Amino acid sequence: MTHDDAAVREALDAAIPLRRCVEPDWARVLAQAIESAPKPRWTKRKRIAFAVAAAALVLAAPVFAIGATQNWWLSHSGGTVPEPVFVPIHGRPMGWARSGSSWFVVYVKGGSGRCGLDGGQWRIALVETRRLPARVVSDRPVSGSMCGNLVSWVKAGRFSDGTHPEAAFQLWATPSLGATTYVYRLDGGKLTPLARFAGDHVELSAGTVTVTYENAGRSAHGETKDVYRFRAGRYRLTARS
C-alpha cells in the first residue's frame, strides 16, 4: 500500500462510515412498538354499554339455569310428531304423551307474529287410537298464547292416587313471569282438571307434588319449596320452606 492509497482510504472512511453486521434486537423493537401503539379510550358511552351488558348477563343467569334444568334445548316429547297426534289435531302440537291407547296432546290453535304465538290459544286434546282412524274424543282450552310461551315437558301416569290415568304438562308464560303445571284426569275419555301448580320446577311422584323455585323472589310467599300431598280427592299443601 502506498502513501496515496492510505490517504484515499482515510478519506473514504470519513465520507462513508463502514457498516458493521449487527444482529437487531427484535424484543426491544417489539416492546417499543407496543408502547407507542395508541391506547383504546373508554368513553362514557362505552362504559355505559359495558355496564348494561354486564347487568343483562347477571339477570339472565337464572334463566339459563332454569332452561338447563328444564331441558328447554331438547325435544319436549321426543322425536317426530306421531301420526295419531299430528293428523286429528287442528293446530300445532307442541308436546304429547301416550296413556294406554290414548295420546294426550298440548297444542296451539291460531297465532301470528314473529313467533307464531301472538293472539293464539293453548289447548289440550285427548286422541283415542283404539279404533282407527285416530280421533279426538276430548278437547278443551287452557289459556291464550303469546311470544315467550314454552311447553317444557309433558307426562302421563297415575300421579294422584295410583288408580286413575292422568297427564300433566308445564307451560311457561315467559322466563320472568314463570310457569304453571297443569294436571288432568283422563277417565272415560274426558279431560278433567285435577290441579295446577305455579313454580319453576315441579316433580310428580306417587301422591306427592314437590314445587321448587330458583330463589325466594320468584315465589308468591317468599318460599323456595312447597310440598303437596293428595288427600280426600285433592292435593293439599303440607309443607312450605
Domains of the chain, CATH where assigned: 83-240 (2.130.10.10)
The residue-averaged pLDDT of 141-158 equals 97
Radius of gyration of the chain from Cα atoms? 35
Give the pLDDT band (50/70/90) at residue 32.
confident
* Residue 71: pLDDT band with limits 50, 70, 90: very low
Whether the pLDDT of residue 28 is over 60: the answer is yes
Query: In the structure grid, which three cell numbers stand for residue 29, read together?
Result: 423493537
Q: What sign for the dihedral angle of Cα 94, 98, 104, 110?
A: positive
Report pLDDT for 80.
78
- The set of cell numbers assigned to 64 is 339459563
Dist CA 142 CA 194 (whole Å): 13
| Average pLDDT estimate for 135-142 | 96
Give the per-residue pLDDT at 84: 83
Q: Average the pLDDT over 95-111 and give the result.
A: 96
Q: What is the pTM of this model?
A: 0.69
Distances in whole angstroms, Cα of residue 54 to Cα of each of 12, 108, 113, 174: 68, 36, 30, 22
pLDDT at residue number 44: 67
Q: Percent of the chain beyond pLDDT 70?
A: 68
Task: Report residue 112: phi and psi, to 5°.
Answer: -150, -165
Asked if omega into 141 is within 30° of 0 (cis), the reply is no
Cell numbers that stand for 182 in this block: 297443569
Model confidence over 169-181: pLDDT tens digits?
Answer: 999 999 999 999 9
Strand partners, 125: 105, 139
* Cα atoms found within 13 Å of the Cα of residue 189, Cβ hemisphere only: 9
Angle at 171 between CA 156 and CA 217, to 5 degrees: 120
Closest CA to 153 of 241, 209, 94, 235: 94
CB 162 within 8 A of CB 152: no
- Mean pLDDT throughout 29-47? 65
